[in-house]
């Protein structure tokens, strides 16, 4: 089964936008709530899941890796078009929420780093004198 990066990114983006719109409607906000972030998380988690299951071949893995790397600037560009002035004039809650999100994200970097490391192989503690000859 071949899944190229663009198709995988498109699926994750559409799913993220749909979930973001659904979340917006559920909380009564007439906007997409976190759809791009949800899409990014889907891209990471589904890509990792499919890689562990051996579903992705080498070509697909390269495509997914490329679009995973390029997706961060896309998210930044999409966030740049948000109404920053409206958020700042909305009061301190927007500033507190943004600052808190950044602090939590920075705090999670070491945790995610530890989760991503491979466990060391168990060392053989058999004494050299007891090895078969």
Q: What is the pLDDT of residues 4-19, one digit of tens each?
A: 677 888 888 899 889 9
Taking the model in full, what pTM does it have? 0.54
User: d(Cα 65, Cα 51) in Å, to the nearest integer?
Assistant: 11
Tell me what pLDDT residue 122 has.
Answer: 56
Angle at which helix 5-27 crosses helix 58-80, to 10 degrees, equals: 40
CA proximity to 8, closest of 59, 57, 52, 67: 67
Q: How is residue 28 annotated by DSSP?
A: T
* Both structure tokens of 19: 């979930």
User: What is residue 3's DSSP assignment?
Assistant: -
Q: What are the pLDDT digits (tens) for 82-122? A: 666 666 676 787 778 878 988 998 999 888 888 877 766 65
Output DSSP code: residue 117: S
CB atoms closer than 10 angstroms to residue 43: 22
Q: Where are the domains of the chain?
A: 1-82, 83-119
Report, as an integer, the average pLDDT of 16-36: 86
Largest CA distance in the chain: 79
Confidence of residue 42 (pLDDT cuts 50, 70, 90): confident
Distance CA 108, CA 111 (A): 5
């Amino acid at each position: 089964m071949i899944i190229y990066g663009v198709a995988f990114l498109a699926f994750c983006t559409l799913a993220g936008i749909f979930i973001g719109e659904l979340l917006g409607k559920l909380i009564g906000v007439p906007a997409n709530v976190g759809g791009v972030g949800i899409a990014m998380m889907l891209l990471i988690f589904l890509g990792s899941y499919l890689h562990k299951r051996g579903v992705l071949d080498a070509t697909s893995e390269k495509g997914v890796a490329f679009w995973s790397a390029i997706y961060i600037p896309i998210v930044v560009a999409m966030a740049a078009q948000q109404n920053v002035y409206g958020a700042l004039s909305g009061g301190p809650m927007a500033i507190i929420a943004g600052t808190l999100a950044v602090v939590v994200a920075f705090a999670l970097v070491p945790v995610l780093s530890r989760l991503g490391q491979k466990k060391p192989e168990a060392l053989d503690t058999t004494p050299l004198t007891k090895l078969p000859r």
